[in-house]
Structure 1
Amino acid sequence: MDSVETTKFITKKEENFVDEDDCEPNKPNLKGDWSNIFLLILLYTIQFIPHGIVISFPIIIQSKKSVTYNQQALFSMVNWVFITKILWSPIIESLYVRKIGRRKSWIITSQYIMGILFFYMAINIDIWIPESEKPNINALVILLSCLFCWANVQDIALDGWSITMLKKNNVGHSATCNSIGLVLGDTICSIFLIILTSEDFCNKYLRTAHGTGGIVTIKGFLYFWSVTFILITTLLWIFKKEKDIKLNDSAKKINIIQSYKIVWSILKKPSVRILVIILFTVKISFVATDHLTILKLIDLGIPKENLSLIKLLMDFCKVIVPLAGSKYTSGPKPMSAVFKIFPLRLLWSITFLILIYYTPNLIKENGIVNVPQYYYIILGLIMGVNEILRFSMAVFKTGFISRISDPLFGGMYIALLNTASNMGPLLSKTVALKMVKVLTFSKCSNDFRNNNYSTSVLKPSCDTNNGNYLVTVDGYYVEVIISMIIGLIWYLSCKKPIKNLQKLSLSHWSIK
């Protein structure tokens, strides 16, 4: 997910609020913190394995040619679990086993449960995603939603632990650990679930003799991570101690009811409500290009493993973006960078329309798919530029959220704003997938009554009557154009409010 895909720049500590303008931060020095850095990277990596699975599975099931966009819309509801993150945050902040640790209690619990869910999923995955039959979308949605739910718990707890695990002058490096973990988690899933499970790819590049299936199976991948989660969690429980927060935190412990009241106090601030609306709507303009393009390319005949290789190269760009953009994320107005990138990304959507339109002519010879090398270069360039622009916006947006969040209640503050940021694109993604069929119009070459053959009732009759199925209006193009119009309206409407929000002092955002 996009926001799950965003780097978290948590640069404040949980103590009495101090305006950044009033003090000079200590210079970062990783001496004595390297072991904590590597531990955080490891924990963030396994945290994003479920995220990588949810990104990979739609590509896997779409390549089987037996899944409709409506079913993809149903599967996308797995991501809705991110919307519930704000409901978990006050509970995690309030309830814990002090002997184990405030955040460690939840991390250990969530990782053990995820290990068990991976094991159960491995047992049933061949039934849920069979080779020749339609996948069981309902079962996948239910189990992956449970998995994501506990990944959310770990995310909240690990964000909080990273602040106290590192030295005060090194807290900013938690964002880098998160970014690297995100890239590694998604990359591992792309390589092992899509590329190495592909029979064609393995026979072409990795085997000396023709074989059946890939060199890795989905079941084996899930069994491996089941054991790995349980092993890492056990070692973490035994060998890593969490600092006693009472030694460092002068704030009084609050109960669950008080935690939810604090969330409501944050949301009652007029500036926060305006920011929530902006964050909710900012990504809707790109939902078609971000989530429909890959599925459309697979439908046109581009091999899923080749698309994953291109995505793999783009993932490494995500590590560079936070470093290159540190001038903006650490500055007073990171949202200004978002506003500079937004129109560029909006215009870049046109390149996807052109690419999809000409793809059938570029990759087919005499009706047979034969993708030339230059096509992959063009595709990689278009997707690469879009990915850099997309991730840059996410990083700068997250930098602004981290900058304004009250350090005393950072977990809940960030969770609330990230929930708003996630909710818009997640809901619009499901709607976009649902609407592809509604906005697509087709006809049959031997039917002169202009009936819409996109419906499941009439489409088979065209084949029966030896007609040619012709798409007259493709819902993909319609959705991209509508999204661009929405984006233009958003840009003109939100420019002034964003400038005003950035002018507010940090004390304005704190909870009095």
Structure 2
Amino acid sequence: MFKRTSSRNGTLNKGARMQEAAVSSSFNNIGVSPRTPRHGMEEDDLELSLLREDERQQAANGLGTEDRRDDSPSHPMSSEDKRAMALLCVLYLIQGVPLGLALGSIPFILREQLSYSQLATFALSGYPYSLKLLWSPIVDSVFFPSVGRRKSWIIPMQVIVGSIMLYLSLNVQVLMDDAKNHVNELTFLFTSLVFFSATQDIAVDGWALTLLSPDSLSYASTCQTIGLNTGFFASFTVFLAFNSEAFATKWGVPHLTLSAYLKFWSVMSYVVSLWLLAFKKERKEALSDVDMSITAVYKQIWAICKLRHIQLLIVVHLFAKVGFAANEAATSLKMVEKGFQREDLAIAVLIDFPFQIIGGWLAANWSRGSFPLRPWLHAFWPRLGFALMSTLIVYYFPKPPISMGFFVFLIIQTVLSSFASTVQFVGISAFHTRVSDPLIGGTYMTLLNTFTNMGGTWPKWFILKGVDLFSVATCQVKEASSQLVTKAAECVSEQGKEACTALKGECVTETDGYYIVSAICMLFGVVFLVLYIMPTVRKLQELPTSAWRVKMS
């Protein structure tokens, strides 16, 4: 039967060992253990100036020997840790597949049939990944003891994901062929897919803290980066390329349908679930007297959210990505609208994938030491610059077919822009892993990642709606007996486009709302970065690790 834990289990014991030995890193240099202060207690007093009186007292009580230890020497990775890393990569990869479909491939395929407002409705399917904090305490607290604390959630979630993908594989062609009449059904199915993947992610994040040894814990983010990115790109760029009949004909490869792709990953989800159930045993976690019931974990989340510095970090996360949100939500769709072939876009992003891995490795080195957020902060300016460049590319996009020189330019721009994005992702992941309390590892990481993800998710709906809202397009109909052109009706909504087609007219865009929305986002991004993010982040990363913890009763 299900068990609600009333103890902090083996995660606490792991956490204690992690606090006694700093974690070395080869990919992200992420350490959960507290860092060593550089200038003694005087600097800690200065760092605590950001806190309220009660928070300063609580943090001061935690400033003991654990915050003063030097980093322990690293040890060679054991074969058990290598196998654990491989397993984590596979589990994260399975999560990345539905995300790549819901946030990548499907919107591109649907763009030919739907307006930006309708795409905004489908974009809601990505929201569960940003809201998983709401049910993460349940995942941390309820489980089958005979199966394992994390496997109790990972296995059923993967089975459900596989079943949804199997159902989609049998019905997706009918839904996609008449997408404008099935937007709500498609949104529901892919929202469900993302919801169960997000639930699995909570359990995998928590399992990583006990699956890996303390000396190898920093590799958890490495597994997440490799697994999620591989799954996402497989479902986005690779699938879009092989799904294109032109690409298949040009390169002599089989044409991959969405139905066949979904069936393949459905089978993979079932296979991995069966392997976990039959062959992978989860370590039994020791019990303790700390209350880890669902109610207690929710209270812990609330206590964490009441910390002054957590509130400042939440504001940073919720608005940090607005500056380049229009670029990420609409630029690629606009390029395809202007004639850029989907398979060419897929090739460009596919070439970019190895550079993302390299970028993550470099960012890991830059995130070492006492300032893990420094690379995250420095990468803001390049990302804003590339957002501006992307807007200009859309504006001056040449009529197809595009030249090889322009295609190479797009690839370079994509690689550099993605590099800056990867630097930020690794930098913020390093910071989150460093300050998270391993006692509620899955929930604490989810708490911080929730607001990071939400910062990139909530603007998307408004941006896609805004593109249509600020756009001005009319249906121009030529008189049969003369060259006279008549403006018949608006041509932004799907109803207007259908009416224009019935009149045998042509939609002519007079004002493209994409440029207005992009300008608003970039202007806000620059102002918010200079006036709020830069001064706030520099203070936050100076705080001792103990200031981010809340003692559980």
Q: Would you call these one fold, judging by a TM-score over 0.5?
A: yes
Partner of 2:106: 57
Contact 2:28 2:363 survives alignment (8 Å): no
Which structure 2 residues correspond to residues 41-440 of structure 1 after superposition, within 5 A?
41-54=89-102, 55-62=104-111, 65-130=112-177, 134=180, 136-190=182-236, 193-206=239-252, 215-246=255-286, 250=288, 252-359=290-397, 362=398, 364=399, 369-440=400-471
Give 2:32's aligned amino acid: K
Measure the CA separation in 2 of the matches of 1:230 and 1:18: 47
Partner secondary structure for residue 77 of structure 2: coil
Measure the CA separation in 2 of the matches of 1:379 and 1:260: 46
Shift of 1:400: 1.4
Partner of 2:46: none
Partner secondary structure for residue 134 of structure 2: helix
Mean alpha-carbon deviation: is it higher for 159-168 or for 443-452? Answer: 443-452
Partner of 1:211: none
Shift of 1:408: 2.0
Give 1:310's aligned amino acid: A
Mean alpha-carbon deviation: is it higher for 250-259 or for 474-483? Answer: 250-259
Give 1:151's aligned amino acid: S
Partner secondary structure for residue 508 of structure 2: strand
Give 2:516's aligned amino acid: V
Pairwise CA RMSD of aligned residues? 2.6
Partner of 2:535: 496
Contact 1:25 1:169 survives alignment (8 Å): no
- Structure 2 segments unaligned to the other structure (5+ residues): 1-26, 35-61, 477-483
Measure the CA separation in 1 of the matches of 2:65 and 2:143: 27
Which structure 2 residues correspond to residues 5-16 of structure 1 after superposition, within 5 A?
11-12=31-32
Shift of 1:215: 2.0
Quick one: structure 1 residues 441 and 231, their matched pair in 2 at CA, closer, same or farther if it must change by over 3 Å? same
Contact 2:95 2:201 survives alignment (8 Å): yes
Partner of 2:43: none
Partner secondary structure for residue 127 of structure 2: helix
Shift of 1:432: 0.3
Shift of 1:465: 7.4
Measure the CA separation in 2 of the matches of 1:36 and 1:462: 58
Paired positions, count: 487
Give 1:490's aligned amino acid: F
Mean alpha-carbon deviation: is it higher for 388-397 or for 268-277? Answer: 388-397
Give 2:322's aligned amino acid: I
Measure the CA separation in 1 of the matches of 2:117 and 2:124: 11
Shift of 1:156: 1.0
Quick one: structure 1 residues 110 and 482, their matched pair in 2 at CA, closer, same or farther if it must change by over 3 Å? same
Shift of 1:159: 1.1
Shift of 1:161: 1.1
Contact 2:105 2:237 survives alignment (8 Å): no
Partner secondary structure for residue 135 of structure 2: helix
Shift of 1:468: 5.9
Quick one: structure 1 residues 202 and 453, their matched pair in 2 at CA, closer, same or farther if it must change by over 3 Å? closer
Partner of 2:16: none
Measure the CA separation in 1 of the matches of 2:186 and 2:299: 35
Give 1:94's aligned amino acid: S
Measure the CA separation in 2 of the matches of 1:289 and 1:224: 32
Partner secondary structure for residue 293 of structure 1: helix
Measure the CA separation in 2 of the matches of 1:142 and 1:466: 35
Contact 1:96 1:106 survives alignment (8 Å): yes
Measure the CA separation in 2 of the matches of 1:226 and 1:300: 35
Contact 2:140 2:440 survives alignment (8 Å): no
Mean alpha-carbon deviation: is it higher for 320-329 or for 428-437? Answer: 320-329
Give 2:540's aligned amino acid: L
Measure the CA separation in 2 of the matches of 1:460 and 1:103: 51
Per-residue displacement from partner, 1:392-450 (whole Å, max 9, x unpaired)?
Answer: 11221221122222222232222111111111221100110011011112356667899
Give 2:267's aligned amino acid: V
Measure the CA separation in 2 of the matches of 1:9 and 1:222: 36
Partner secondary structure for residue 196 of structure 1: helix
Quick one: structure 1 residues 338 and 30, their matched pair in 2 at CA, closer, same or farther if it must change by over 3 Å? same
Shift of 1:466: 7.6
Per-residue displacement from partner, 1:175-207 (whole Å, max 9, x unpaired)?
Answer: 111111022212321355311121111112116
Per-residue displacement from partner, 1:17-44 (whole Å, max 9, x unpaired)?
Answer: 9845424234142222222221221121
Measure the CA separation in 2 of the matches of 1:160 and 1:285: 32
Give 1:431's aligned amino acid: F
Contact 1:192 1:221 survives alignment (8 Å): no
Quick one: structure 1 residues 108 and 452, their matched pair in 2 at CA, closer, same or farther if it must change by over 3 Å? closer
Measure the CA separation in 1 of the matches of 2:215 and 2:65: 15
Measure the CA separation in 2 of the matches of 1:18 and 1:71: 56
Mean alpha-carbon deviation: is it higher for 139-148 or for 441-450? Answer: 441-450
Measure the CA separation in 1 of the matches of 2:314 and 2:203: 23
Measure the CA separation in 1 of the matches of 2:256 and 2:487: 50
Note if 1:35 corresponds to 2:83. Answer: yes
Shift of 1:264: 0.4
Measure the CA separation in 2 of the matches of 1:472 and 1:454: 11
